[in-house]
Amino acid sequence: MIPASTALPKGNILIVDDVPDNLTFLHKMLSSQGYKVRSALTGRLAIQSVLTKPPDLILLDILMPDMDGYEVCQQLKAGEETCHIPIIFVSALSETIDKVKAFSIGGNDYLTKPLQVQEAIARIEHQLNLKRLQQQLIDRNQQLEQEIGARQQAEEALQLAMREVTDIKFALDQSAIVAITDAQGRITYANDQFCAISKYSRQELLGQTHSIVNSSYHPQEFFQQMWQVISMGQVWKGEIRNRAKDGTFYWVDTVIVPLLGTDGTPHQYVSIRHDISDRNRATLDKIRATLATWHLTKAEEQVRLLQSVVVNANDAVVITEAQPLDMPGPRIIYVNEAFTRMTGYQLEDVVGKTPRILQGEKTNAVTRAQIRAALESWQPVRAELLNYRKDGTEFWVDLNITPLTDDIGWVTHWIAVQRDICERKEAELSLQRQAQIIDQVHDSVIVADLKENIISWNKGAEKRFGYQPQQILGQPLAQLCASEEHGFVQEQIFRPLLEKGEHEIEVQMLTKAQEGFPAHLSLSVLKDNEGKVVGLVSYCIDISDRKRAEAEILNTLEKERELNDLKTRFVSMVSHEYRTPLATILSSLELLEYYGHRSTESEKQENYQQIRLAIQRMTDLLNDVLTLNKSEAGKLTFNPAPLDLGQFCQDLVNELQRNIKTEHQIFLSVQDQCPQAQMDEKLLRHILSNLISNAVKYSPQRGTINFEVRYRDHRAIFYVQDQGIGIPTEALQNLFQPFYRANNVGNIAGTGLGLSIVKRLVDTHGGSINVESQVGSGTTFIVTLPLTAEDGPVLPENNQTE
């Protein structure tokens, strides 16, 4: 058995056999191989079936009753529609003669019954493949035939088109001026007509752009607009005035056609032109004639009016032709009398010449170029120009040039109106010079308008305030003033200035870096040409140095005053403090001298003692003055040495308690475990004994004095507290000034030197002294000293008595 196939039908096969069993067998065999099979029992039925629907292959039995296989084959091979269907004979006839016959009448193959299934299928497959290939060949042939046909048609069309193009080109060349340019506008083709009208040879034209025939007649925008159109691939049409090689002009009606490349952008431009010079001339003449008649009456009147204006004008009027803008320049056809007055040239001197005769060496080339550019594009232009008179002297003019067009808008002339601006230029120059001078000034010059905005300033101001002109001009003047007072500039600067016409004021100014400085402002009003006040001018001098010097002088004066005060107080105190013991000494000596012989020994001793005490008082005072002097001169010596503070304080209190003649009690309290101290014993003794003595002196009889010693943070703190008269608040700040005494001391003796010396000794020790006091309740002095010099100085507390 042959394995069944499930694939789609591989071909359409007709089996022709008169034996139904054969048909059935073949049908099964082929169907199982995926072929679509139909059957015919007779030759006639087979031919009918083929004609109805041609199969891809026919398996044909030879021996059949009414029409044998040979005949069927012959008929099919004779038919146009059926001749290409492959026929395989299937027959029991196995003679070579049979096979030869089968092949000779067009059979494609021959299978002998009984069939070898594999062989039969292979041959069927082979025939079908052959047929497919044949079909493909036929299809391809047909396609090729079609293509060849199409190409032939295209070639014919192309040839036709070429012929047409050549004809058109020929026609164009005969009738028009033709040029072809590349994308950059360089001429790559110029026909004879182009050469003829432009009077350039073809060699001269090729490679050039059309500017070779540019007549400078059309403004630049005209050509810019043209390029815009054609470079976008669109056709441009217009009329152009060109200039031939010999300088003559011709008008051409122009069509420019861009030829697009495969990328869609223009690769070439074809220009087709027609000479319309005559036509234009004729049209123009016609238009002019019409317009002329139409406007005649009105125009004549206007012309008369205008003429009288021009003739009598104060400004010079020059009328020139429109061309040529190149050398020698447009010719003058008219100048008025003002021109003669201004330049010294008479009308006959200048007619036919160019206005360029007025220009000379110093005439600004840039301005001239600007004027030229404007004229080239038919634009009116205004400029200031340096001109030369006939006698060679210079003068400045404000020049206004206007194009004069004819009725259809073509520029035919230029009218130049010149105003003599020498005076203004002179004024400008003088202003410039003044501005230069002002810029040289070291101080600031600031100009502000009435809206209080800065409108100008000099280099000095720029330097002092640190702003660039563009940062400050237009800004309010208040920006330069340090005052935050509302309306300061108006109230302090503008109002007094406008009232008095000038004004001076010292104000604090502010730089860009927000640094304030004192300044003296000399202000004057700024007026316009009509004398109207339009702002202010401020001459601003930085007076920082002056202010500093003033402050220094004041300081020195203050010190001198203090010194004088000190001297006065010193003299009065010393004289007083010396007079009292001296008087004591004197009276004791007198007693001894006159009554000594009558006095008892104890009375004498009493007098001697008085003298000793008085001398001691004078010595103490002298010592105090010397100590103070030493400290002022920075000559106090500081000799720290290890010191047992507890013991030292105890000894000091004992000594003082012994020496005081009153009934005051001194109580000492020392914190336990005193750390090792390094102090100058002499200085410390002086400090503490002075404070304790004062506490005794300014306390009532039998008062108690608390002396306390504490340690904290490497510091020793000494408290000396009494319940005495206290110190008035206003006296606290002067307490350490030499010779200062509070006004509540009454007749308690003293020099006012003690505390000032104490302060200096405390300072020498790197310590600080503070005081807390209440009048009538008592006073506490607090001295803080570093335990050793290594502990660093005591920073002063924020205490007014320090």
Q: Are 58 and 16 in contact (CB under 8 A)?
A: yes
519 touches ligand ADP (CB under 6 A) = no
Does position 518 interact with ligand ADP (CB under 6 A)? The reply is: no
Minimum CB separation of residue 742 from ligand ADP in Å reads: 3
Residue 624 or 680: which CB sits closer to ligand ADP? 624
Site membership for ligand ADP, residue 755 (CB under 6 A) = yes
Strand-pairing partners, residue 31, are none
> Which span sits near ligand ADP by CB under 6 A: 16-24, 144-152, 206-214, 745-753?
745-753
Nearer to ligand ADP by Cβ, of 385 and 735: the residue is 735
Distances (CA, A) of 259 to 145, 146, 216, 271: 35, 33, 27, 11
Residue type, 380: P
Q: Does 741 bind ligand ADP (CB under 6 A)?
A: yes
User: Which residues are CB-neighbours of 645 under 8 A, at least 6 positions away?
Assistant: 670, 674, 677, 679, 709, 716
User: If DSSP states are collapsed to H, E and C, what string results for 709-772?
Assistant: EEEECCEEEEEEECCCCCCCHHHHCCCCCCCCCCCCCCCCCCCCCHHHHHHHHHHHCCCEEEEE
Give the count of residues interacting with ligand ADP (CB under 6 A). Answer: 20
CB 351 within 8 A of CB 333: yes
For ligand ADP, which is the closer residue by CB, 332 or 687?
687
Stretch that binds ligand ADP, among 61-69, 276-284, 448-456, 751-759 (CB under 6 A): 751-759
Segment (H or E) for 534? strand 533-542
Residue of the chain from 610, 779, 784, 801 that contacts ligand ADP (CB under 6 A): 779
- Give the binding range for ligand ADP (CB under 6 A) out of 12-20, 285-293, 469-477, 753-761: 753-761
- Measured in degrees and rounded to the nearest 5, phi and psi for residue 52 equal -65, -50
- Say if CB 255 and CB 235 are below 8 A apart: yes
Cα 542–chain centre separation: 34
CA 780 to chain centre: 68
- Cβ atoms of 646 and 682 within 8 Å: the answer is no
Q: Which stretch binds ligand ADP (CB under 6 A): 21-29, 224-232, 664-672, 746-754?
A: 746-754
Closest separation between CB of residue 758 and ligand ADP, Å?
A: 7
Which of 52, 47, 44, 59 is closest to 14 using CA atoms?
59
Interacting residue with ligand ADP among 411, 435, 543, 745 (CB under 6 A): 745
**Binding flag, residue 680, ligand ADP (CB under 6 A):** no
- Minimum Å gap between C-beta 631 and ligand ADP is 14
Contact status: 338 vs ligand ADP (CB under 6 A): no
Stretch that binds ligand ADP, among 96-104, 127-135, 743-751, 786-794 (CB under 6 A): 743-751
Closest to 46 (Cα-Cα) out of 21, 64, 34: 64
Classified as helix, coil or strand, 509 is: strand
For the CB of residue 745, give the shortest distance to ligand ADP in the complex, in Å.
Answer: 5
Residue 750: CB minimum distance to ligand ADP, A:
3
**Interaction between residue 761 and ligand ADP (CB under 6 A):** no
| Contact between 753 and ligand ADP per CB under 6 A | yes
Choose between 444 and 756: whose C-beta lies nearer to ligand ADP.
756
Which part of the chain contacts ligand ADP (CB under 6 A), choosing from 6-14, 28-36, 136-144, 747-755? 747-755
**Pick from 403, 754, 767, 786: which binds ligand ADP (CB under 6 A)?**
754
Q: What are phi and psi of 505, to 5 degrees?
A: -155, 150
752, 760, 782, 801: residue in contact with ligand ADP (rule CB under 6 A)? 752
Q: Examine residue 324 and say whether the peptide bond preceding it is cis (omega within 30 degrees of 0).
A: yes
Q: How far is the CB of 748 from ligand ADP (least distance, A)?
A: 7
- Annotate each residue in 284-323 with x if it binds ligand ADP (CB under 6 A) or - if it does not, as one string: ----------------------------------------
Residue 444 vs 773, nearer CB to ligand ADP: 773
Q: Closer to ligand ADP at the Cβ: 678 or 734?
A: 734
What is the C-alpha to C-alpha distance for residues 635 and 632, in angstroms, rounded to an integer? 8
Residue 783 binds to ligand ADP (criterion: CB under 6 A): no
742 touches ligand ADP (CB under 6 A): yes
Could you tell me which stretch among 141-149, 375-383, 600-608, 723-731 binds ligand ADP (CB under 6 A)?
Answer: 723-731
Q: Is 725 one of the binding residues for ligand ADP (CB under 6 A)?
A: yes
How would you classify the pairing of strands 665-670 and 704-712?
parallel
For residue 569, the minimal CB distance to ligand ADP (Å) is 12
Rounded CA-CA distance 284/287 in Å is 5
| Integer Cα distance of 170 and 253 in angstroms | 19
Hey, how many other C-beta atoms are within 10 angstroms of the C-beta on 447?
19
Identify which of residues 542 and 708 has a Cβ nearer to ligand ADP in the complex. Answer: 708
Contact with ligand ADP (CB under 6 A): which of 258, 330, 724, 767? 724
Residue 666 in contact with ligand ADP, rule: CB under 6 A: no
Question: Rounded to the nearest whole angstrom, what is the least distance from the CB of residue 741 to ligand ADP in the complex?
Answer: 3
Nearest approach in angstroms of CB 801 to ligand ADP is 10
In the complex, the smallest distance separating the C-beta of residue 722 from ligand ADP, rounded to whole angstroms, is: 5
Locate 346 and state its tokens.
């008479």
Query: Token match 């069939």: residue?
Result: 115
Among 494, 722, 762, 801, which residue interacts with ligand ADP (rule: CB under 6 A)? 722
Identify the residue among 37, 481, 727, 769 touching ligand ADP (CB under 6 A): 727
Shortest Cβ 684–ligand ADP spacing (Å): 17
Find residue 717's DSSP bridge partners.
710, 784
How do strand 665-670 and strand 641-643 relate by DSSP bridges? unpaired
Amino acid occupying residue 144: L
Helix pair 96-104, 69-78: axis angle to 10 deg: 20
Strands lying side by side in the sheet with 704-712: 665-670, 704-712, 715-721, 778-786, 768-774
Please pick, from the candidates 735, 761, 769, 794, the single residue that binds ligand ADP as defined by CB under 6 A: 735
CA dist 647 and 630 (Å) reads: 29
CA dist 13 to 17, 35, 50, 295, 547, Å?
13, 7, 10, 103, 129
Residue 707 Cβ, how far from ligand ADP at the closest point, in Å? Answer: 12
- Taking the complex as a whole, how short is the minimal distance between the CB of residue 609 and ligand ADP, in angstroms? 23
In the bound complex, what is the minimum distance in angstroms from residue 716's beta carbon to ligand ADP? 20
| Cα separations in angstroms, 600 against 586, 591, 610 | 19, 12, 16
Q: How far is the CB of 725 from ligand ADP (least distance, A)?
A: 5
Give the shortest CB-695-to-ligand ADP separation in angstroms.
Answer: 5
Our CB check for ligand ADP shows the closer of 407 and 772 to be 772
Sign of CA dihedral 337, 341, 343, 346: positive
Site for ligand ADP in 692-721 (CB under 6 A): 694-695, 698
653 binds ligand ADP (CB under 6 A): no
| Residue 646, phi-psi category: left (phi > 0), alpha (psi -120 to 50), beta (remainder) | alpha
- Give me the least distance between CB of 576 and ligand ADP, in Å please: 12
Q: Is 687 in the site for ligand ADP (CB under 6 A)?
A: no
State the residue for tokens 């005495």: 724
**Where do contacts with ligand ADP occur on this chain (CB under 6 A)?**
694-695, 698, 722, 724-727, 735, 741-742, 745, 750-756, 779
